[in-house]
Every structure is written in structure tokens, then in C-alpha cells.
Amino acid sequence: MISPSIQIHAIYISPGHDFKGHHGKPRSNHPVRRLDEAHLVAGQGIEGDRYFGHAENFKGQATFFDWAVYQEVKARFNLPELDPELFRRNILIAGVDLNQLVGKQFEISGIQFEGSEECSPCYWMDRAVTPGLEDFLKDRGGLRVRILSDGLLQTGHTRLKLRESVV
């Protein structure tokens, strides 16, 4: 079991889908709320988010995005004022390689998660943020997770405990 120190920079939720189901149509513009804390519910998602209670055993009950990748995007595309809410990921985190959590169970702040798959970027990234971003984010688009236990997730420094492989 490892316990690296991590930091949760931000938590985001949105009540509606801006891109899902919009192929060939314009995006929606549902507001994104930045939270200091959020209630996560096992098997459901983040209270108030568009994917809360979406489907049984849904792979994307919450999504993580790497702070370092966010910083790389700002530098590479010369977007110093880029707001991370544009990525439409729920939890902006630093201190862990998210790809290493695919197929693993882990714990953050007493909440159990299962890394289900990479949160692959789609063509909307080029429209929502900047052209070329979809390609740039391949293999580092974030992590989709299932939530295995209820809990309150807060921004700030905490620890990640790796549990076991679930593959």
C-alpha cells in the first residue's frame, strides 16, 4: 500500500451536459460550479453533478484531471488565463499519475474509488478550449472512476492510499 501526498485543487459540478448527445449540434452552456467540498455517494456520483445517478455501475461517476497536465496545456497553447472548468472534469488533482490508477482501488480522504478507465478527450476539446487539444490530451485526458463509498471530499492536501488491483 502506498500513501503519496496529493492535493485537490478544485472540485467542479455541472447540472447539465454541454457536449454529450450534441454531435452535429451546438454545445449547451450549463453553468459549472466550483466547490470547496462535495458529497460523494457510492454507486451514484457527486451530488448535484450531471452524472449523479446516471446508470448502474457507470464508469464515470466522477472524473479526475491532473493539475500538471492542466499547467502543460496553459504553457503549450499560450493560455495563461485558462480556467480548468473548461475541461469538464470533476476533480483537479496533483501528485499522482492518474493512468496508474486504471484498474486499481484507492482511497482519498476516506472515500473508496475504483479507477475504471482513462477519461479520453474528444473532438469537443478543440472547440471548448483550443484547436489541437484533443490530440495533445491523448493518454492524459484524466481518469474516470466509480465511487465505492460515501464521503465528503474537500480541496486541500491529503493522502492517496492504493488498495488492490481489480482487473
- At 30 the pLDDT is 57
pTM of whole model > 0.85? yes
More confident residue, 149 or 123: 149
Instruction: Label residue 1 by pLDDT band (50, 70, 90).
Output: very low
Instruction: Label residue 55 by pLDDT band (50, 70, 90).
Output: confident
**Backbone dihedral region for residue 141 (phi beyond 0: left; psi -120 to 50: alpha; all else: beta):** alpha
- At 54 the pLDDT is 87
* pLDDT tens profile 70-127: 999 999 999 999 999 888 899 999 999 999 999 999 999 999 999 999 998 877 778 7
Q: How far apart are the first and last CA of the chain?
A: 17
- CATH of the domain spanning 5-165: 2.40.33.20
Residues 108 and 91 sit within 8 Å (Cβ to Cβ): no
Residues 67 and 96 sit within 8 Å (Cβ to Cβ): no
In the chain, domain spans: 5-165
* pLDDT tens profile 25-37: 554 565 788 999 9
Rounded to an integer, the average pLDDT of 142-158 is 97
Position 128, amino acid: A
Average pLDDT, rounded, for the chain: 88
Least confident of 4-18, 32-46, 53-67, 142-156: 4-18
Q: Evaluate if residue 128 carries a pLDDT over 90.
A: no
Adjacent-strand bridge partners of 156: 8
Instruction: Label residue 167 by pLDDT band (50, 70, 90).
Output: very low
- At 25 the pLDDT is 57
Number of other residues whose CB lies within 10 A of the CB of residue 101: 20
